Structure 1
Amino acid sequence: MTEQQQQNLGKKVTVMGCGYVGKAVVSYWYKKGYYVTGTTTKEEKISDLETITHRPIVMRGDDLEAVEKVINNQETILVSIAPISDRQVDAEAYAQTYLPTAKNLVTALKNNSTVKQVIYLSSGSVYGNKKGEWVDETSPLDTETNYNKVLVEAEKIILGLNREDINVCVLRLGGIYGPGRELNKRIGRMAGQNLPGDGNNYVAWIHLDDIVSAVEFINKKGCEGIYNLVNDLKLTSKELCDLICDRQQLERVTWDESKPPFSALNARVDNSKIKEEGYQFIYANTLV
């Protein structure tokens, strides 16, 4: 065991939701020597979590008693949840996933004396269509789109925890890429296709490693408030697709302006706040 792991030993951290991001965080914290709890809604995922957590638990966020038990005697809580589906889900599924979990966590924390840090993973899509303008953490949010309405409400619930002794931090993530979700492969599969929209909407991206690194940065520093977690690249959907198709010598994507785009986001998302806090990006300008 390294000296750093010995220093970390005993620090109790919980990740609620061990999907693509949550699983990466628990693995990282486990290696650092923290005492790690990881939750999943699926019994079949427990065997995977047994190798990278000390306490794998099957639970749902809409079960208040289960939430109270899982945060008992913990110091840091990371909420990394998403609707349970292999397909595109509707706004109602979003509401059933995010809102009960947020409400139950806030309720459970009111009677908890050990938790000092809550980190909640949200989405940069909450800014909606700003016609390509710059946005920061103080910009108005989109409450017209049904999906974003849910995400904004969940943020409000989490940030509404009125406890001076608990730091509550919301990270608004860009689109997530990384191992198993490489943009070369994802966009490469769309080469030559006709996609909805004109391709001129600005998108935001963040690498999985930067999410893990930023979560630990927030955890160690005890940050609170809202931070955008997106990389430095400010590309439109068309620019991104052209770049990735060209470097793989694939046929470019074409666009159908008569149809609405997949993404509700059209804004250049400013990441200067988390940089000013001291965070240094691993993949600031790299798309893989």
Structure 2
Amino acid sequence: MSAPSVLIAGCGDIGSRLANRLLPDQWTVFGLRRTVSRLPEGVIGIAGDLFQAQAPVDWPTARIDYLVYCATPTERDEAGYRAAYVQGLQHVLGWLAQHGQRPRRIIFVSSSSVYGQQHGEWVDETSPTDASNYSGKVMLEAEQVALQSGLPASVVRLTGIYGPGRTDLANRVRQGYSVANEPPLYGNRIHADDAAGLLAYLLQADSKGVELDDCYIGVDDAPAPLGEVVAWLREYLGVTEWAENSTLRRSGSKRCSNARAKALGWVPRYATYREGYKAMLG
């Protein structure tokens, strides 16, 4: 039996890492993005724009077993989010229908921004999704597009992705970044490699007949107060000066659980921010 095929729509950083996980197992990987020259070797490029209603001219005619939708907005406002996540997904679903393709499953890459908890509560896939900001609300709308598409679908809510090219926090710590420690502001993280690894794990599980849930949270094993992470980074980076009188506060504080993904058998390579940042900053 031949290995499955997957179309990664919005094949940027996470999508490319996912492709590199699947290609060694002989998966056929299609990558849709504007600039196909930036796709990993072995990925079949589809030059296309998720924001346009017309299907790409080189849309594949072959069977598509899986769709992974992991777009990134070009504009960080409500219209930009809706174009990337809601309308873009609707376009891809329409292109699949035009070509008579019915994937076995859609995996929609979402975000923990759908949760509005702010007091350090533990959050899992069954927790209320009461986002107050536009990003979380639009993500919830897009999740419903996937879940109500008529195709089997799973939503993966990723949290605080970091890794090569995503060094904002480390850079701010070098510049003297401070945060309030009381009450603790809990944050959630996942290394980019583990984000891609979780997506690959779900695809491979489904291809082997494992029954998937309709939602998973992608996070490491140890949500931690932002003050703790900043203090650890200071020590690791040798930062000795910071401005205590300009301590910054950040809205939102929750602890996301990866228990459902781990019950399926997935294990993050970087269990906590310590292992992940050491690998990234090495």
Structure 2 residue ranges without an equivalent (≥5): 207-211, 278-282
1:269 paired with 2:256, answer yes
Shift of 1:150: 0.8
Whether the aligned pair in 1 keeps the contact of 2:187 and 2:225 (CA below 8 Å) is yes
1:32 paired with 2:25, answer yes
SS at match of 1:215: helix
1:92 paired with 2:79, answer yes
Whether the aligned pair in 1 keeps the contact of 2:46 and 2:58 (CA below 8 Å) is no
- For 2:70, the equivalent position in structure 1 comes to 80
Q: Deviations over 1:203-258 (max 9, x none)?
A: 1100122122211111121224000110012212222111111222213564757x
Distance 2:180 2:130 in 1: 21
Distance 2:130 2:181 in 1: 19
| TM-score normalised by L of structure 2 | 0.82
Q: 1:255 to 1:20 in 2, by over 3 A?
A: farther
1:209 paired with 2:197, answer no
Q: 1:84 to 1:189 in 2, by over 3 A?
A: farther
- For 1:218, the equivalent position in structure 2 comes to 202
Q: 1:184 to 1:126 in 2, by over 3 A?
A: closer
Q: 1:69 to 1:260 in 2, by over 3 A?
A: farther
- For 1:3, the equivalent position in structure 2 comes to none
Whether the aligned pair in 1 keeps the contact of 2:180 and 2:227 (CA below 8 Å) is no
Q: 1:50 to 1:269 in 2, by over 3 A?
A: closer
1:152 paired with 2:140, answer yes
Q: Deviations over 1:24-52 (max 9, x none)?
A: 112332333222111113xxx32222734
Structure 1 residue ranges without an equivalent (≥5): 1-6
Whether the aligned pair in 2 keeps the contact of 1:187 and 1:244 (CA below 8 Å) is no
Distance 2:47 2:95 in 1: 18
User: One-letter code of the match for 1:172?
Assistant: R
Distance 1:265 1:137 in 2: 18
SS at match of 2:120: strand
SS at match of 1:13: strand
- For 1:287, the equivalent position in structure 2 comes to 276
Q: Which has the higher strand share?
A: 1
Distance 1:114 1:233 in 2: 38
Choose from 37, 44, 55 the match for 1:47: 37
Distance 2:94 2:245 in 1: 46
Q: 1:225 to 1:71 in 2, by over 3 A?
A: farther
> How many residues are matched?
267
- For 2:91, the equivalent position in structure 1 comes to 104
Distance 2:127 2:60 in 1: 32
Whether the aligned pair in 2 keeps the contact of 1:171 and 1:227 (CA below 8 Å) is yes
Shift of 1:152: 1.1
Q: 1:127 to 1:80 in 2, by over 3 A?
A: same
| TM-score normalised by L of structure 1 | 0.81
Q: 1:145 to 1:278 in 2, by over 3 A?
A: same
Distance 1:128 1:213 in 2: 26
Q: Deviations over 1:174-224 (max 9, x none)?
A: 11112333577444434x135699783211100122122211111121224
